[in-house]
Chains A and B, each alone.
Chain A
């Protein structure tokens, strides 16, 4: 018998009798008066920045200025500027000095300040992690109350990779002192488009 069969047989003979899955009654789950206000206050409490904007002009301008100043940035959103292709082949070595990256998020979660981005939005899986400063853009109407609502909206199997990101990279491994900027982005800004 193979290890696989050994393990599965041992589990089958030792597992208890079938018990049902619970029903998750969504009426019992918290709701917020204003999802945006909740999202902003939670994300700012964990080191993120949130800004409400009416249109994308400011972001377009920022990208132009950074490019003129020779700052290494990558934009993945056609609506705010040119997207250089292909991005997916860029390696860690090539992206090591990446300063800023702009990515469109699929949705935001009010209860914890997380933003879901899927592989087709980030183009290259390394981008949201290796950059020094992460800039995410979501629509205000795409902020949901809780993780339950988030999983209703997203299909995790649709792309090869997807991630919830809540604020900048952090650690408290030295004496429980919070330090922002462990291995990932040192700052995370979410622009919420009204």
Chain B
């Protein structure tokens, strides 16, 4: 069995100052989001519009996809369809072979992470250079991104300095972010001007126009797309929106929710290839049509990948992105990934306190915490829960359905904790890990109420 969230999180939290830094930094991003949101009196209305546009789009998705394809083709763009990650990778590989491409730059695309494109191309001896600074850092380190917007948020500047010293020959021990970013700028400029192919993601694809929008702060998607002779844009089919005017709603929501910026530095609208250039779009299903058919979970397809739910999540902030062992981590990942592989990702919906903060910050109003709770029920019903969880659940169901047994067990528990504390305060009790057990009360609430509740009623 592969390592599960709790085990992976345990590794991450071993370094206490680092985890505290991670927690506080992401909370700071959440606060910036709040400040940006509060700057617009219509913020809640804007979320509602975003949510309704996405609801409408999902309800007419097949037509919008056909419209998008038709318009894109009329604009001179090649449109491809991929059932799953393997087909997506194969399509890209074929384009690379056809053009005898050697040099490839890629800007951030969580879809290509989901499809494991880099690994696939590497197996065919094709090198891809990730150009987003955070992604380049984790690529050098042979790690996956730990956050969909801030890929290297699990690292400290000392780590980056060491990595760049090894791969780019920067000065050892120079931890200045300005210096390190400049080194990456010079290194990647060469890659951009030499590149034959640029791969990008897609933030929004507009059915009405057949065009698509890519948002970055660094300008890396544009540096690649406008230099290389071939541009491949990869999108999950849920990136469709009906009309260009709806970009007004989503571009207002996206960056404010993601980092608290009023808008990303660059919001690039690709409509037609430039002269002599080829643009390809790969539209990917990879489980999305199945998720669309799951009534309780289809709302997850409204996601615009802002990561506001990551930054606010008390579990994500303290366990780090790698503990989710999937391309898209955090609360949204925990409701998307069980659809892709329920068995492998059965742990994820349990990696939550169900506090609901994710749903409250979601710019398109996905009921994330409710879906987490619903996935738990599906996972238990399908028999994918841990054996220990199953035994505990069965025992609790027995206990809670028999009031007399429950009262007796409570009484025994209180006595045992008072007389023999070592029976609960030991390493085999997971609730004792990193915690003190509570002081056992002298009597249960029921006993107290039987005494005092009646007195009050008589008064």
Give the CA-CA distance A125 to B248 in the complex, in Å: 23
B418 touches A (CB below 8 Å): no
A72 touches B (CB below 8 Å): no
In the complex, per-residue mask of A150-194: 1 if CB is within 8 Å of any chain B CB, else 0: 111000110111111111111111111101011111000000000
Whether B211 contacts A164 by the Cβ 8 Å rule is: no
List the B residue with the shortest CB-CB distance to A5.
B81
Whether B271 contacts A162 by the Cβ 8 Å rule is: yes
Whether B261 contacts A156 by the Cβ 8 Å rule is: no
Residues of A1-50 at the interface with B, using a CB-CB cut-off of 8 Å, are 2-4, 6-8, 10-22, 24, 28-30, 42, 46
In the complex, per-residue mask of B30-70: 1 if CB is within 8 Å of any chain A CB, else 0: 00000000001110010011001101101111100110000
Min CB distance B331 to A, Å, is 21
Give the CA-CA distance A126 to B189 in the complex, in Å: 13
Stretch at the interface among A58-66, A75-83, A106-114: A106-114
Whether B222 contacts A184 by the Cβ 8 Å rule is: yes
Residues of A67-87 at the interface with B, using a CB-CB cut-off of 8 Å, are none
**Which interface residue of A13, A17, A18, A167 has the most chain B CB atoms within 10 A?**
A167
Whether A3 contacts B153 by the Cβ 8 Å rule is: no
Contacts of B156 in A (CB 8 A): 175
Contacts of A168 in B (CB 8 A): 265
The residue from A19, A151, A169, A183 contacting B245, defined by CB atoms under 8 A apart: A151
List the B residue with the shortest CB-CB distance to A152.
B245
The residue from A92, A152, A173 contacting B133, defined by CB atoms under 8 A apart: A173
List the A residue with the shortest CB-CB distance to B215.
A164
Whether B42 contacts A14 by the Cβ 8 Å rule is: no
Give the CA-CA distance A147 to B251 in the complex, in Å: 8
Ordered nearest first, which 6 A-B pairs have the shortest CB separation?
A: A184-B219, A14-B293, A112-B262, A182-B218, A173-B134, A10-B289
Whether B59 contacts A183 by the Cβ 8 Å rule is: no
Contacts of A167 in B (CB 8 A): 265
In the complex, per-residue mask of B123-153: 1 if CB is within 8 Å of any chain A CB, else 0: 0000000011110010000000000001111
6 contacts between A and B (CB under 8 A): A3-B81, A15-B59, A20-B56, A96-B189, A111-B252, A173-B150
Whether A182 contacts B211 by the Cβ 8 Å rule is: no
Q: Identify the B interface with A (CB < 8 A).
A: 25, 28-29, 40-42, 45, 48-49, 52-53, 55-56, 58-62, 65-66, 81-83, 87, 131-134, 137, 150-153, 155-157, 160, 177-178, 180-182, 185, 188-189, 192-193, 206, 209-211, 217-220, 222-223, 225-227, 237, 242, 244-245, 247-249, 251-252, 259, 261-275, 283, 285, 289-290, 292-293, 295, 298
Give the CA-CA distance A150 to B248 in the complex, in Å: 8
Min CB distance A179 to B, Å, is 4
Whether B157 contacts A177 by the Cβ 8 Å rule is: yes
Give the CA-CA distance A22 to B45 in the complex, in Å: 11
Contacts of A29 in B (CB 8 A): 42
Give the CA-CA distance A7 to B81 in the complex, in Å: 8
Whether B193 contacts A7 by the Cβ 8 Å rule is: no
Contacts of B87 in A (CB 8 A): 3
Whether A176 contacts B153 by the Cβ 8 Å rule is: yes
A55 touches B (CB below 8 Å): no
Whether B56 contacts A14 by the Cβ 8 Å rule is: no
Whether A182 contacts B271 by the Cβ 8 Å rule is: no
Whether B271 contacts A161 by the Cβ 8 Å rule is: yes
In the complex, per-residue mask of A120-158: 1 if CB is within 8 Å of any chain B CB, else 0: 000001100110000000000000001110111000110
List the B residue with the shortest CB-CB distance to A163.
B268
Contacts of B275 in A (CB 8 A): 88
Whether A171 contacts B217 by the Cβ 8 Å rule is: yes
Give the CA-CA distance A95 to B200 in the complex, in Å: 22
Contacts of A112 in B (CB 8 A): 252, 262-263
Contacts of B267 in A (CB 8 A): 114, 163-164
**Which interface residue of A17, A92, A173 has the most chain B CB atoms within 10 A?**
A173
Contacts of A173 in B (CB 8 A): 132-134, 137, 150-152, 181
The residue from B133, B206, B285 contacting A156, defined by CB atoms under 8 A apart: B206
The residue from A7, A88, A93 contacting B289, defined by CB atoms under 8 A apart: A7
A57 touches B (CB below 8 Å): no
Given contacts A11-B292, A22-B48, A184-B266, 8 further A-B contacts (CB under 8 A): A19-B59, A126-B222, A130-B223, A146-B248, A159-B271, A161-B274, A162-B271, A164-B266
List the A residue with the shortest CB-CB distance to B180.
A174
Min CB distance B356 to A, Å, is 24
Give the CA-CA distance A17 to B55 in the complex, in Å: 10
The residue from A2, A13, A92, A171 contacting B218, defined by CB atoms under 8 A apart: A171
